[in-house]
Amino acid sequence: MELPYKSALVTGGARGLGAAITRRLTATGTAVWIADLRVDMLTELCDELETTGSIATPLPLDVRNADRVAEAVEGICDEAGSLDILINCAAIDVSKPIEHLTPDEVSQVITTNLVGPINLCLATYRRMIDHGSGHIVNILSTASLRTWPEAGPYAASKAGLRAFTHTLFQEARRDCIGVGVTGIVAGGSGSPAHLDRFPETDTWTTKHPDVVADTVMYALSVPPGSALPEVVVVPRTETSWP
């Protein structure tokens, strides 16, 4: 697949969904900056991609730090000339009954899953508008549409990000027809992070991270003049859908 883009930033890109998306992007010749806090995994993935001739740069980054995010985006634009693709994939979860949650746990989830992607969008969107093209993809969750016990902060963060994504899509359509915005509502994944958190999960009810990565690539390949504001991709056996 060929894309009309040359540079990308993938947050949470060192493992699971983020790593799958990164591999798909680098396979097209796109230069990818992989943002994550897990430096060992960043290094391992970049070393792997280097053996295939792909262009991947590790970027240790806490998406909650707005100043650091702005510096990172500026650095990418200085080096690449522009940032064409932003994939907001970084996310965490604390699965507990609400009565046992601490304020710090709630803050960690909300700032990582909602404030973090917004920080990235704020640092990136205006640059894309000025450049006349680009695409922002926010990885959502079925929890952004419906919820279940012990998913309070996570569901709230993803529902908030979905609302923000819809607003950004409307503004991009107004501000610059060349800038795309897509929210991907992803169902249960067989990613390491999910299986580590829920080891009792029946993998029959999950999908491979590559399925989400392929969906991202489809969103990025939609022809000019068309838009894919939101897409839902879930396993046929998804337990939280419909």
Please state, in angstroms and rounded to a whole number, the distance separating the CA atoms of residues 220 and 91.
21
Distances (CA, A) of 188 to 11, 94, 140: 19, 16, 11
**Partners of residue 230 on adjacent β-strands:** 183
Give CA–CA dist 29/148, Å, rounded.
40
End-to-end CA distance of the chain: 32
Residue 218 annotated as catalytic: no
Query: Where do the H-state alpha helices sit in the chain?
Result: 16-27, 39-50, 66-80, 103-110, 116-131, 152-175, 192-197, 209-221
The identity of residue 14, as a single letter, is A
Of 5, 125, 154, 218, the active-site residue reads 154
Which of the residues are catalytic? 154
